[in-house]
Amino acid sequence: MGGTVAAPAAPPDGTLTERYRAVRALTEQLAAPLSAEDQTVQSMPDVSPTKWHRAHTTWFFETFCLNGNLPGYRPVDPAYAYLFNSYYEQVGARHPRPQRGLVTRPGIAEIAEYRRRVDEAMDDLLERVVPGRPDLAALVELGLHHEQQHQELLLMDIAHVLSVNPTRPLYDERPVPEPGRPDEAGWVAHPGGIVSIGHTGEGFAFDNEGPRHEVLLRPFAVADRLVTCGEWLEFMADDAYRTPTLWLSDGWYTVQAEGWESPAYWHRTDEGWFVHTLTGFRPVDPAEPVVHVSYYEADAFARWSGHRLPTEFEWEAVAVSVPVEGNLLPAGYLHPRPAPPADGRPRQLFGDVWEWTASAYQPYPGFRPAPGAVGEYNGKFMVDQQVLRGGCAVTPGGHVRPTYRNFFPARARWHFGGVRLAADR
């Protein structure tokens, strides 16, 4: 994350305390450009208010780290346990998700104070208790990765909130980048065979990234860059949004019910297609990767192009040999950038758009959720979702890795989802 909202990047090799502070500070920095009014509204049931994200991530540390572990600690406000639980059934009743936007109090001042008091107590916990408690260190680690996820959610949610305002406000003013020049996509082949999939055990991973196991693949290839807006305009010009045979049955139904005729946030104007982004309302740049498309659209595009989407295993088999670092967006971006020059390897693998895969979100063989309430983190969502891989322009830098499994329903468009093609070989 960079530019005007650029934050102290969380030092990946710092101490746990240093990393705690850095992650927590970034959340506040991301919220800083937003007014109290901006932070209160829920523009659709999937979206949560900014102030809810700020409070919920704090509640996570309070509930799973402080309570019962820091001697003498008492919850800041007993009502928060109900208001700021997201979906953990094992820690009690919770406020209904679609009503998060109805809660005007606590306001942003009280939530800033809540964060301050929990951070103070966490300082204490990290200094005095955590050193002898590896289980607790693991929960703090989980809490940090959880908060990084919510940093991304905060940005994609506020993008939606601002988009429903007829005055089209921006999250952040910055110069519009120069339009890029797209090149032809190339293909990177993989011989198939038995490959190992899942987290190796080094560094942090969510439970759904394991157990590591073997999968048998047939020979395949993936495109060496993402599908561009220019290619998407061709798809639209070919009447794809009005051609039922290109679509999954549910996809076609959704296209008609929702009246889709372009990616989300695109607007037809007298001067051609424009797009409303966090940083501006500007013409669609044909060189940029397309983003804010549903799985239905990604799948239809692949069919139209004569190719297909990769499975998540194919994607991972290719991605493990590509360094994350050079692939991440440079500081200052809140939207994907055009592909860098071709170099024989897949480009834009990490950090531009989440890439829809052909894989339904299912447990790996032998998967067992963690015991206790944090076991509800991932496993209970393993139905009717599609896996996305990679990372996107609003994903915090330290939160990207080749085994990471993101997932959304096939109809979702408000996250930063895009497309990479694949083919049999």
Applying CB under 8 A, which residues contact a copy of itself? 35-41, 43, 51, 79, 82-83, 87, 89-90, 95, 99, 101-108, 161-162, 164-167, 169, 194, 213-216, 218, 244-245, 247-252, 295-296, 299, 358-360, 362-363, 365-366, 376, 380-384, 386, 409-410, 424
Residue 371 C-beta: closest distance to a copy of itself, Å: 11
Which tokens in the block code for residue 247? 């679509």
Residue closer to a copy of itself by CB (options 323, 366) is 366
Cβ distance to a copy of itself smaller for residue 21 or 146: 146
Percentages (nearest 5) of helix, strand, coil residues in the chain: 40, 15, 50
Question: Residues 212, 318: contact at Cβ < 8 Å?
Answer: no
> Shortest Cβ distance from residue 162 to a copy of itself (Å)?
8
* CA–CA gap between residue 194 and residue 218 (Å, rounded): 9
- Closer to a copy of itself by CB, 111 or 130: give it: 111
> Minimum distance from CB of 358 to a copy of itself (Å)?
7
Rounded to a whole number, what is the distance in angstroms from the first to the last CA of the chain?
37
Q: Which residues on adjacent β-strands are paired with residue 386?
A: 360, 408
Q: How far is the CB of 387 from a copy of itself (least distance, A)?
A: 10
Q: How far apart are alpha carbons 76 and 79 in whole angstroms?
A: 9
Q: How far is the CB of 368 from a copy of itself (least distance, A)?
A: 10
Least Å distance, CB 254 to a copy of itself, is 11
Of 95 and 345, CB closest to a copy of itself: 95
d(CA 103, CA 93): 16
Please tell me the distance from the alpha carbon of residue 36 to that of residue 282, in angstroms, as a whole number. Answer: 27
Write down the residue that tokens 């990047």 correspond to: 9
* Smallest distance, a copy of itself to C-beta of residue 305, A: 15
- What are the distances in angstroms from CA 207 to CA 27, 198, 396? 24, 10, 20
Cβ distance to a copy of itself smaller for residue 187 or 204: 187
Q: Which is nearer to a copy of itself, 247 or 333 (CB)?
A: 247
Pairing of strands 354-360, 417-418: parallel
User: What value, to the nearest 5°, has the Cα angle with vertex 319 and ends 318 and 323?
Assistant: 130
Q: For residue 208, which of 30, 48, 367, 6 has the smallest C-alpha distance?
A: 367
The nearer residue to a copy of itself, 14 or 244, going by C-beta atoms, is 244
Comparing CB distances to a copy of itself, the nearer of 204 and 367 is: 367
Q: Give the shortest CB-48-to-a copy of itself separation in angstroms.
A: 14
Q: In a 3-state reduction of DSSP, which class is residue 281? A: strand
| DSSP annotation string for 245-276 | GGS-HHHHHHHHHHT--SSTTEEEETTEEEEE
